[in-house]
Structure 1
Amino acid sequence: METIHRFIVAAGFVALSGIVSLLAAPSLPADLVTNWGAAGEPSGTMPKLLALWLFPALTAGLLVMFAVIPRIDPLRENIADFRPYYDWFVVIFTVYMFVVHAGILAFNLGYEFDFTYLILVAVAGLFYYSGVVLIHAEQNWFVGIRTPWTLSSEEVWARTHALGGRLFKLTAVFALLGLLFGEYAFYLLLIPALLTAGVTVVYSYYLYERIERSSDTAPE
């Protein structure tokens, strides 16, 4: 029942995105600013109808996918072991999508704020909780750092996710520090995120090879 309640909360944020779109629609221009450069300057637009409903529709589709994953994963019993963390990630993800959507609409309604800073704060929250999920994630086919080596060894999975969880949290901290660096703020998110992805992949390979060599040289 707790899982159902958490998905109802997530669905509520999807519905709220749609409500916000309906309320804002009459006051919005024909084309909405939907893209910003690294320095925070607007750099692209989208037709109003598409901009109003893209995020609500995309979030709804992803919510359905998140609901299905624990049922179709061959290792679904492992997802059950960290299901509360998984469910709260789904809620936080829908909150993130709502914040981005509402921020786009607010900007186009004439409210003045730095959209890049809004994204940095929202992404920092999402990344930090992603780190929490990674630390608790058990081996499965859909959630986590899924490399050939983590999926081939439970030990590699556990140790890679322990490192990955810490790196995701650290990336979130760098994203917040970016608020102090103006036009370079985006890079304090992008560079740590790319390094985190690269380090975890290389680390999983390194661990797997070391464990395999140890098993090959162990006396029988």
Structure 2
Amino acid sequence: MKKHILAIIFISITILAWIISWPHLLDTIATHWSGDTPDGYSPKLIGMLLMVGIMIGTYILLNVVPKIDPKKENYKKFSKSFMMITYSVLVVLFIANMDIIATGLGYNLSINRFSGLLVGILFLVIGNYLPQCKPNYFIGIRTPWTLSNEEVWRKTHRFSGKVFMILGIIMCGSIFAPVTWESYIILTVALGGAVITMLYSYFAYKKEIF
């Protein structure tokens, strides 16, 4: 139970913030932005249920995964790294909730202008702990080649940790780009990272086998 206290605090603060602000929110609130400009709206009930639901659901999922993974024993070997990644995701979702509430109350925090920074920091955290991840079916670079060979898994995650750190720095730097570019930079960097790490795992496997 002790390990869940911080998560419970974050989730409780989020729910309390929604409850307190509820009477002051318009019936329709902004839930999606393009740069600093809202371009997606939802009824406030849907917005609250969606955002809080994603936060709670993600945390529950990340705690259930180690129990149902066929390689669940490996999670004990990188429990600290897994916990840090879990809480990093939770913090990002907490900030997203606070931003939607604040915007709904008429405050322009411009957090969305710094979405690249938030995602970049998340990439930096993941990149820092990725090399410590042991073979499993849910967390990390899970390709047919990493899952079939532990040495390929190890090499791929050492390499991918460096890639994520570099991509995280690029994402953080996106705050200096024109606001209309930010979402494209994030998407391009994320897709690029996925392709690079996947290709590396393939070539690492070929080298290991042959």
Question: Which amino acid counterpart does residue 210 of structure 1 have in structure 2?
Answer: K
Which of 13, 33, 38 matches 2:10? 13
Residue 41 of structure 1 corresponds to 37
Structure 2, gaps ≥5 residues long: none
In the alignment, the residues of structure 2 paired with residue 51 and residue 154 of structure 1 have an alpha-carbon distance, to the nearest angstrom, of 43
% identical aligned pairs: 30
Which of 155, 159, 180 matches 1:159? 155
Residue 204 of structure 2 corresponds to 207
In the alignment, the residues of structure 2 paired with residue 13 and residue 198 of structure 1 have an alpha-carbon distance, to the nearest angstrom, of 34
Larger Rg: 1
For 1:88-135, what per-residue CA distance to the aligned partner results, in whole angstroms no more than 9, with x for missing partners? 221221111010011111112111232422322221222111112211
Question: Which amino acid counterpart does residue 133 of structure 1 have in structure 2?
Answer: Y
* 1:102 aligned onto 2:91: no
Which of 56, 60, 63 matches 1:64? 60
In the alignment, the residues of structure 1 paired with residue 14 and residue 115 of structure 2 have an alpha-carbon distance, to the nearest angstrom, of 17
In the alignment of these two chains, the number of paired residues is 209
Question: Which amino acid counterpart does residue 51 of structure 2 have in structure 1?
Answer: F
TM-score w.r.t. length of structure 2:
0.93
* 1:85 aligned onto 2:81: yes
Structure 1, gaps ≥5 residues long: 214-220
Contact 1:145 1:161 in 2 (8 A): yes
Which of 117, 123, 131 matches 2:113? 117
RMSD, aligned CA? 1.5
TM-score w.r.t. length of structure 1:
0.89
The list of structure 1 runs, each at least 4 consecutive aligned residues, that deviate by more than 6 angstroms after superposition, is none
Displacement of 1:145: 0.6
Contact 2:130 2:158 in 1 (8 A): yes
Displacement of 1:48: 0.6
Question: Which amino acid counterpart does residue 69 of structure 1 have in structure 2?
Answer: V
